Amino acid sequence: MHHDERADRPGSHGEHQIQRELGTVSRADRFYDEQVLDRLNQRMKEFVARQEMFFLATSDSHGECDSTFRAGPPGFLRVLDDATLAYPEYRGNGVMASLGNIRENPHIGMLMIDFSQDRIGLHVNGRAHLVTDDTMRRRIPDIPVDPVPGRRPQMWVEVEVEEAYIHCSKHIPRLVGAPLRQNTGGTDRSPADGEQAWGTDDPKRKGGDYFGAAAQERGLAPR
């Protein structure tokens, strides 16, 4: 392994190599010095508290990656303190890819983006571990029981913050939110009407075989 004379800087050996190759060392150092924190400051905590979704990256013990997103009402992503976040795992497709990766490899990356108001993003990288819903509620008794069955946590993920930094606005598109009718479990309408069917098992409401994959031959090998 080559010696990295910038090993005291944030980031990986690989990114330091590319910075040297492309002549961006001074720009990168300025970003590290001015924007990268090892905790959440007050403005970051306020930003997190109003998010309704975030993107999540995990990998297993072999480095095989999965990316996904998580969504919920504002406040579903909870700030426990300036170094700790927690989010609920709602009922999904039963594969448990992200949770399985975290069990093997605790390193995760999170990205929250405000598309509509400030057009800015926040990266949070850290170490995650799995917590049962009962355990989380004993620790934080004021967590409400959601009236929507599909938004009742099966498990929680607690994240120890290691890095927190801005995602600049220059390439973030402006998106305008539409009002949603929340499904309380009584009916499943068309996805086109804007309703979210939390936790549904209805194939049509889940997207069905949208990409036509069900009839295709498979050549997947185990990881």
Residue found under tokens 């010095």: 33
pLDDT at 56: 99
CA dist., res. 15 & res. 28, Å (int):
10
Instruction: Give the pTM.
Output: 0.84
pLDDT at 183: 52
> pLDDT digit string (tens) for 213-223?
888 877 777 77
> pLDDT digit string (tens) for 55-96?
999 999 999 999 999 999 999 999 999 999 999 999 888 899
The average confidence (pLDDT) of the chain is 88
pLDDT at 188: 44
Q: What share of the chain is helix, strand, coil (3-state, %, to 5)?
A: 25, 25, 50
Answer yes or no: CATH 2.30.110.10 is held by domain 42-167.
yes
What residues are paired with 54 via a beta bridge? 70
Return the domain boundaries, the chain: 9-36, 42-167
